[in-house]
Structure 1
Amino acid sequence: MKNICIVGGGACGVAAFIELFIQITTQDLKDKVAIQIIEKSSKAGYGLAFGSEEKGHLLNTQSELMGIYSREVNHFTEWLSENADKARGKVEDTGDIESAYTSRIMYGDYLYEQFTYYLNKAKVLGIEANLVCDEAYDVDYEDNKFIVSLQHGDPIKCDYIILALGNPEATNFKSFEKYPQFLNTPWPSHKVLELVDPEDHVGILGSSLSGIDTIMTLVDNGHKGKISCFSIEGLLPRVQPVHNKDIEREILTLNNVHKIKREHFRAPRVTEIFRLFMQEVEKQYGKRLDWKKLDRMGGDPYDFLKEDIAAAEKGGDPLLNVAYSLRYDAATLWSWLTRDQKNLFKKWLGPQWTINRHGMPLANAKKLLPLFESGTLNVFAEVGEINNDGVGFQVSYGSDNIQNVDKLINATGSPSKLEAMDCTLTSNLVKKGLIRPYEGGGALINELTMESLNSKSINGIYATGHMVNGMLLDVNAVWYNVRSISSLTKDIIFKVRYGEDS
């Protein structure tokens, strides 16, 4: 009997459990595998991401890409159709159900229902599968077994570990936690509402999707005071159309990029891929473009927001749609880049790619417009020194500008580097050499199997989601994680069936 331990019961943990269940049952391995799912909350599926009941906390991807089954990407859409009564009031932008941006809690309900169904099925079929409501904080390796230590319960011995830890808290402003006017994360949202008074001037560190969610938490609960977002670039996410226009790329294709490898005997360069991207966008526009004018750095976020809403209502502009069309190929292109080229991409194009590839729902964008127009909301770039004056914070930005805010919320997102993640389990795994940091962020893994590589040559630890944010690209996308988890579980089941050395 091989024991598999899934650490984390959010979306990735649920996907891993279901995929293992399907492979165990279809390969008749019911008496050879046991599964333990360790989740610190009482219910699997929700986590911080999908446990929010705020009406403005919407999925940032249409429902048609959110199925939890690797080969049934439309399953969530089908579930929504079958549960229309539950979805009422929890779905935005519904030209049709496939294009719906549902509430986060609705997706959490879906994950919980799927998980519960297969957990109960496992018991009926005689498969040992248990949800352990506890928190893992350490792992040891003795006598060819992993020993997972828990905060409250007895240690669990296992042969394989799947790290599905979700997104750790930001650590870049941890020193501010001593101040009562500061909150290090906008999750769960009730902490924001407990901290902030309705008339407070609220400062939000970050203007990406987490920053947008923070704004939604405030305005959907009647906040009247000013809101100021501070970030390095001062860029808002672009606006996702209800229906993305299908783009059939002819220039930026895997074939053309692979030709660079084949003809020049080297990895492609970021400049070469971006040149193909520009040509593809210009082809869709039907004209040459002034790319310097398309650079949003230093521009007015309000003007861009108005442009983006207008474009989204027409199906998006070619720039946004070409970026969207790359969703299935971007991971392959990323894997073809060298480490240095990946770092160059992050430094040179990272912010622009992020706002185009990971846009906000149209419904939320429309809520931002009146906030800008009334002077309630501002977005400031080039955030600098931040100081607490005893009653609030002074935030400097740009050229010697300062804003005084009553409360400050960190919405900058999770750290990339393993060493910077505020996670006891991750820290202990790194200290013991059981996982190895990748220079570009996250853990070093075999991209084909998701198995972690370490200095001790110990096999059997797998990672997914934000834990592999450096080696893989779209680790915040559920559909991408589901697909990579399918490869991960296949590797484990293959070893169970044929032996570790097969």
Structure 2
Amino acid sequence: MRSDRRIGIVGGGASTVCLLDALARSDVGGGAITVFDPSPHLWRGRPYQRDVTAVRVNIAPEGMTIRSGDKGHFKRWLAARYPKAPGEDDYTDPLCGIKFIPRGMYGEYLEDSARDALVHLAESGWRVAVVRKQVVSADTSDDGVILTTADGDVSVVDRVVLCTGRGTPPDDYGLKGTPGYVVDPYPLTKTLRQVDPDEDVAVLGSGLTGVDVVLALAAKGHRGRMHMLSRSGVLPTVRQKPVSHQLVHFRPDELRDAALRGETVRLGRLVAMMRAELISAGENPATVLAELDSLDREDPTTRLRRHLADVDSPDRALRILQYAVPATGPDVWTLLSEETKSGLIRRHYRAMMSICCPMTAAAAQRLVELVDSGQLEIVPGVRHVAAAGEGFTFTAADRTTAVDVVINAVNPAVRSTSAMAKPLVDGLVATGLAQAHPRGGVHVDRATSRLTVDGVPDHRFHALGDLAGGSLFFTFGMPSLVDRARDIVDDLLLLEPANGLPAASTTLQTA
């Protein structure tokens, strides 16, 4: 690789940390790297800000590493930064035996990993700058890609990687600006200060964010009633005790090779492969089918109790599925026809997210305790939420209930574009440098994550994370981000600059 490569990275969250680490470990030196991010939580992103310890990641440490090919990277950081003293809480879930780290602590890991990567890059001859500004447009010229920030500063680079994240929750009921309405719960340590301990609270959303809000309220001694509201009432499943399993039929390496060859596979074939996987492991595929069938039929509290009771069940079927889908998701997705993809999103998206993004067992146990005490109600079928006098009302089934506070824990739309990145992405689409994907985000190439227009990849632009979700689907889990970051770095380092001009960027300003 030549020493005059100029790389611009738009966004500074977890996906960018994965990318910087992959670049640093490539042992290729020279060139310039500029990271653009105006947010107040650089490297951490929205999910991993400093927050209450009740808010935890829901994956074991080996699944949260930012380093490709090194599952022990995060565990070693934990051992070095937070050595366990005798009798000290090490965040191990007492029910399933897995260590679930507070999200704020994981944010520290991201910050440290970013700093280490920047130091390593500088030692390898890279010139690195962090510009704390929003990029609002990207144009092309013979000199490269021209990135313009909101205040008019210009930088010229050869390659751009869009790591723009997902943004903030939607305001589904138009309550923004209403006193007592919390539009975005994170960081909970700050937003929950405005909630009086005796107020009745409605939490919009029954996903992992909704669980976070309820647990954080309970941890700070909230005394008022809590209602977890959603249209579906579908909670995440409960993380079970880990089991060891090697995929033999639904193999990630074979599926990845098929995806790289551009093959198409019928859904029925993939279902047959998973069925064979389960049968070869001595498990009954009917277990998975029954779980999918119960999703819209079973009372959410009943389902929560059942899942909690199955934490140490000898049945491994769901655990095998939970391992296989994240491990193979982006590759499997590209093997399917567009019609099949749209059908899966329409009919089974909630089921896939519920099963493959489970809550911790300790969290489930605490929810059940709150339900049994009468303090928490899980309410499906919510039709309307509105301001009413000095509070709010919500309507579900045949009743209307009054509450004092509403906390918006609806997850940002997957494959959406953050408000901060929208001007840039919209501009790329308008000028024909990107193509909007009908399922959200933009079209990208499977092998390289390059942006594509009418199927033609552009070596100047890549996307990592949710912006690529329409094409790659499961792109927001850390293992998926790590894999895609490695693919992008391999592609970046394979190419020579389009011009022989020296690396330079105009008006670079670091924080």
**Same fold per superposition (TM over 0.5):** yes
Normalising by the smaller structure, the TM-score range is 0.7 to 0.9
Over 3 Å counting, the alpha-carbon distance change for 1:223 and 1:153 in structure 2 is farther
Which residue of 50, 54, 58 maps to 2:52?
A: 54
SS of the residue aligned with 2:138?
strand
C-alpha displacement of 1:126? 3.6
In the TM superposition, what are the counterparts of 1:403-482 in structure 2 within 5 Å? 403-416=401-414, 418=416, 423-454=422-453, 459-482=459-482
Query: In the alignment, is residue 203 of structure 1 matched against residue 206 of structure 2?
Result: no
Give the residue type in structure 2 aligned to 1:319: L
Which residue of 21, 24, 43 maps to 1:21?
A: 24
Give the residue type in structure 2 aligned to 1:82: A
C-alpha displacement of 1:185? 1.9
Q: Is the 8 A contact 2:416 2:441 kept in 1?
A: yes
In the TM superposition, what are the counterparts of 1:282-301 in structure 2 within 5 Å? 284-285=282-283, 291-292=289-290, 295-301=294-300
Give the residue type in structure 1 aligned to 2:70: E
Query: In the alignment, is residue 39 of structure 1 matched against residue 37 of structure 2?
Result: yes
C-alpha displacement of 1:474? 2.1
Q: Is the 8 A contact 1:247 1:325 kept in 2?
A: no
Give the residue type in structure 2 aligned to 1:159: D
Over 3 Å counting, the alpha-carbon distance change for 1:297 and 1:279 in structure 2 is farther
- Write the distance in 2 (CA, Å) between the matches of 1:229 and 1:72: 38
- Write the distance in 1 (CA, Å) between the matches of 2:273 and 2:176: 45
Q: Is the 8 A contact 1:52 1:189 kept in 2?
A: no
Q: Is the 8 A contact 1:139 1:428 kept in 2?
A: yes
C-alpha displacement of 1:70? 1.0
Q: CA offsets, 1:90-137, max 9 Å, x none?
A: 62327999x421111221111211211232333344420112222323
Over 3 Å counting, the alpha-carbon distance change for 1:284 and 1:351 in structure 2 is farther
Q: CA offsets, 1:134-168, max 9 Å, x none?
A: 23233233344222222457322211111111221
Q: CA offsets, 1:401-455, max 9 Å, x none?
A: 3232222222221224557867443333334433221112221001111111247
In the TM superposition, what are the counterparts of 1:127-206 in structure 2 within 5 Å? 127-152=126-151, 154-173=153-172, 175-206=174-205
Q: Is the 8 A contact 1:339 1:440 kept in 2?
A: no
SS of the residue aligned with 1:91?
coil
In the other structure, the counterpart of 1:492 is 492
Q: Is the 8 A contact 1:206 1:412 kept in 2?
A: yes
In the other structure, the counterpart of 2:104 is 105
Q: CA offsets, 1:287-339, max 9 Å, x none?
A: 86594575131322222222222322457742233332343223322211111
Over 3 Å counting, the alpha-carbon distance change for 1:433 and 1:89 in structure 2 is farther
Over 3 Å counting, the alpha-carbon distance change for 1:365 and 1:153 in structure 2 is farther
- Write the distance in 2 (CA, Å) between the matches of 1:303 and 1:141: 56
- Write the distance in 2 (CA, Å) between the matches of 1:196 and 1:288: 45
Over 3 Å counting, the alpha-carbon distance change for 1:287 and 1:482 in structure 2 is closer
- Write the distance in 1 (CA, Å) between the matches of 2:254 and 2:12: 40
SS of the residue aligned with 2:355?
helix
In the TM superposition, what are the counterparts of 1:353-364 in structure 2 within 5 Å? 353-364=352-363
- Write the distance in 1 (CA, Å) between the matches of 2:457 and 2:285: 54
Give the residue type in structure 2 aligned to 1:161: V
- Write the distance in 2 (CA, Å) between the matches of 1:256 and 1:167: 30
Superposition RMSD on alpha carbons, in Å? 3.3
SS of the residue aligned with 1:395?
strand
In the other structure, the counterpart of 2:503 is none
Give the residue type in structure 2 aligned to 1:466: D
Q: Is the 8 A contact 2:164 2:417 kept in 1?
A: no
C-alpha displacement of 1:255? 10
Gaps of 5+ in 2: 501-511
Over 3 Å counting, the alpha-carbon distance change for 1:364 and 1:459 in structure 2 is same
- Write the distance in 1 (CA, Å) between the matches of 2:484 and 2:254: 25
Q: Which deviates more from structure 2 when the two are superposed, residues 290-299 or residues 304-313?
A: 290-299
Higher relative contact order (CA 8 A, sep 6+): 2
Q: Which deviates more from structure 2 when the two are superposed, residues 301-310 or residues 267-276?
A: 267-276
Give the residue type in structure 2 aligned to 1:343: S
- Write the distance in 2 (CA, Å) between the matches of 1:86 and 1:186: 30
- Write the distance in 1 (CA, Å) between the matches of 2:159 and 2:430: 19
Q: Which deviates more from structure 2 when the two are superposed, residues 281-290 or residues 66-75?
A: 281-290
- Write the distance in 1 (CA, Å) between the matches of 2:375 and 2:83: 36
Give the residue type in structure 1 aligned to 2:50: S
In the other structure, the counterpart of 2:508 is none
C-alpha displacement of 1:271? 4.9
Query: In the alignment, is residue 66 of structure 1 matched against residue 68 of structure 2?
Result: no
Could you tell me the percent identity over the aligned residues?
22
- Write the distance in 2 (CA, Å) between the matches of 1:418 and 1:80: 32
C-alpha displacement of 1:19? 1.5
SS of the residue aligned with 1:171?
coil
In the other structure, the counterpart of 1:226 is 225
Give the residue type in structure 2 aligned to 1:438: H
Over 3 Å counting, the alpha-carbon distance change for 1:44 and 1:250 in structure 2 is same
In the other structure, the counterpart of 2:334 is 335
- Write the distance in 1 (CA, Å) between the matches of 2:217 and 2:324: 33
Q: Is the 8 A contact 2:95 2:362 kept in 1?
A: no
Over 3 Å counting, the alpha-carbon distance change for 1:275 and 1:110 in structure 2 is same
Over 3 Å counting, the alpha-carbon distance change for 1:300 and 1:405 in structure 2 is same
In the other structure, the counterpart of 2:385 is 386
Q: Is the 8 A contact 1:245 1:315 kept in 2?
A: no
Q: Is the 8 A contact 1:165 1:467 kept in 2?
A: yes
SS of the residue aligned with 1:85?
coil
- Write the distance in 2 (CA, Å) between the matches of 1:299 and 1:467: 34
Over 3 Å counting, the alpha-carbon distance change for 1:44 and 1:94 in structure 2 is farther
Q: Is the 8 A contact 2:264 2:334 kept in 1?
A: no
- Write the distance in 2 (CA, Å) between the matches of 1:140 and 1:446: 21
- Write the distance in 1 (CA, Å) between the matches of 2:417 and 2:282: 43
C-alpha displacement of 1:350? 1.6
Q: Is the 8 A contact 1:211 1:411 kept in 2?
A: yes
In the other structure, the counterpart of 2:5 is 2
Q: Across the two proteins, how many residue pairs are aligned to each other?
A: 488
Q: Is the 8 A contact 1:134 1:150 kept in 2?
A: yes
In the other structure, the counterpart of 1:325 is 324
Over 3 Å counting, the alpha-carbon distance change for 1:170 and 1:433 in structure 2 is farther
Give the residue type in structure 2 aligned to 1:45: W
